[in-house]
Every structure is written in structure tokens, then in C-alpha cells.
Amino acid sequence: DPNGWSRNWKPGSGPPIVLRVDDCRKIFAEMKSRGVEFKQAQPEEYAWGISATFSDPDGNLFSINQLPSKSSWS
């Protein structure tokens, strides 16, 4: 679409694609062992869960996110 949003789109310019996982630390370790370069040294903890971000060869961002367990929703 030469007149639409894709005209100005560049790889890496959009928000990350979020992949929800059950165990962020485990997936992080597996992916890192296979050569994925993350933006952080380790997954980061937030009030809403655990997250780690990486990019593909074109610069598009991806985030693996783990939500907190329901038992911690108090």
C-alpha cells in the first residue's frame, strides 16, 4: 500500500511483539544458549511479571513475558 502506514514503516520502529511464556527465565536461558542476544543480562522483574527483550536480524523487537502466578494477585 504505497499510501498507507507501510510506506513509512521501518524494521524495529514499531512496538515489540509480545510472547507470553510460562517460565521466562527458562526460555531466556534456552534462547540465550542458542545465540539469541537479549537487551538485558537477565530477565527483569516488574509488578506485572517478568520480561526479557530481544530483536531479530532486521531489528524488530520481541519480548518474552511471564505473568505473575494467580496466588500472588492479592
Kindly give the pairing relationship between strand 17-20 and strand 44-46.
unpaired
Is 39 part of any domain? Answer: yes
pLDDT > 70 in the chain, percent: 86
How many domains is the chain built from? 1
Is 3 part of any domain? Answer: no
pTM for the predicted model, two decimal places? 0.78
Contact 65, 51 (CB under 8 A): yes
Bridge partner list, 66: 50
Query: What mean pLDDT is predicted for residues 11-33?
Result: 93
Is 22 part of any domain? Answer: yes
Q: DSSP secondary structure string, 8-38?
A: S--TT-SPPEEEE-S-HHHHHHHHHHTT--B
Q: What is the pLDDT of residue 62?
A: 97
* Residue span of the structural domain in which 64 resides: 13-68
Is 49 part of any domain? Answer: yes
Q: What is the pLDDT of residue 72?
A: 63
Query: What mean pLDDT is predicted for residues 20-42?
Result: 98
Q: What is the pLDDT of residue 14?
A: 80
- Residue 31 belongs to domain with CATH number: 3.10.180.10
Is 5 part of any domain? Answer: no
Distance CA 14, CA 36 (A): 20
